[in-house]
Amino acid sequence: GAKEAGRNAFRFFTPAMNLAAQDRLRLEGELRRSMDLGELMLYFQPILATNERRVVGCEALLRWCHPTRNIVPPGQFISLAEETGLIIPIGEWVLRQSCYQARRWLDQGYDLHISVNISTRQFREQDFRQVVESVLSESGLPPQSLVLEITESLVLEETEQLMEDLKLLTAKGLRFSVDDFGTGYSSLSYLRRFPAKMLKIERSFLQEVVHRRDDAALVEAMISLAHKLNMTVVAEGVETLAQWDFLKECDCDFMQGFYFSRPLPVTQMDAFLADHFKETPPNPEKGST
């Protein structure tokens, strides 16, 4: 009967495929519930001015504190969230939390911008602009303090409505940033059409920059290109002093990376701000402030 047919259908799957499919399905169910269970959390990674090591902003990075899988990094669930559409409510939650947190820092005297990653799918939602505008007004965060990070794949399906919404948001003072610049296949045409004010150089370009002349030339060229387009440049993935020195030489505006700080939970970010918000000398003496 039906049971028999079901069992036959089952045989088309190899045990490994079946396990992967089951695992995915379980993960999807868990992700669906994660928001209600309060398992999603934001970490914040400081963004610093290259010439003086001063904190100018931070990037909100999503973490899933799973009860049995510990902390799941976004690389393991963002694409699932995108495929299932869960990124829409999750992304709105991220945006709201980020704006409220940035507002709190502003109230404490820390004038930072907050960078929020936006998935292409979120961005294409009909009411994207309205969501951003209402989150800004609810939280009281000035639009100038919000940066939306978008990756290059977006350009493929831009519509007139989308470009219109972008212009309206930009007119309010909000900034867009092109994330992971240099890795897509349409980087330059993207810059021509997209009204971005910031450009983030993908960290793979930084990795060998001190040893490889070609990488150094590419990074220098990206920075000067961005500056000619009146964009602010952020280097991501700064892990060494030598990389920082190189970025200073090339007049890179901002930087972010493990050399300065990993992404931090909010209380640790508070402590980092207390130590680093003001310009600090290269080797600050303990207790000098």
| Least distance from Mg ion to the Cβ atom of residue 149, Å | 4
Pick what 182 binds: ligand C2E, Mg ion, none; C-beta below 5 to 8 Å, kind-dependent: none
Number of residues that this document lists for the chain: 289
CA 95 to CA 122: how far, in whole Å? 11
- Distance, C-alpha 186 to centroid of its chain: 20
By CB under 6 A, is residue 239 in contact with ligand C2E? yes
Kindly tell me which residue out of 56, 179, 246, 254 binds ligand C2E, with binding defined by CB under 6 A.
179
Q: Secondary structure of the chain: what % helix, strand, coil (to 5)?
A: 50, 20, 30
Spatial CB neighbours of 64, under 8 Å, sequence gap ≥ 6: 31, 34, 39, 40, 41, 71, 72, 74, 77
Kindly tell me which residue out of 1, 15, 67, 75 binds ligand C2E, with binding defined by CB under 6 A.
75
The neighbour count for residue 121, using CB atoms within 10 Å, is: 16
**Binders of Mg ion in range 75-134 (CB under 5 A):** 117
DSSP for residue 73: P
**Binders of ligand C2E in range 105-124 (CB under 6 A):** 117, 119
Piece of 20-28, 72-80, 153-161, 272-280 that binds ligand C2E (CB under 6 A):
72-80
Tell me the CA distances in angstroms from 144 to 114, 136, 148, 169, one per residue in order: 10, 10, 11, 10
* Nearest CB to Mg ion, comparing residues 92 and 179: 179
Closest to 147 measured CA to CA, from 55, 47, 73: 47
| Least distance from Mg ion to the Cβ atom of residue 283, Å | 30
CA 171 to CA 165: how far, in whole Å? 10
* Nearest CB to Mg ion, comparing residues 30 and 174: 174
By CB under 6 A, is residue 209 in contact with ligand C2E? no
Pick what 282 binds: ligand C2E, Mg ion, none; C-beta below 5 to 8 Å, kind-dependent: none
By CB under 6 A, is residue 39 in contact with ligand C2E? no
Piece of 12-20, 31-39, 67-75, 210-218 that binds ligand C2E (CB under 6 A):
67-75
Residue ranges binding Mg ion (CB under 5 A): 117, 149, 179-180
Residues that bind ligand C2E (CB under 6 A): 45, 61-62, 73-75, 78, 91, 94, 117, 119, 149, 179-180, 203, 236-239, 256-258, 263
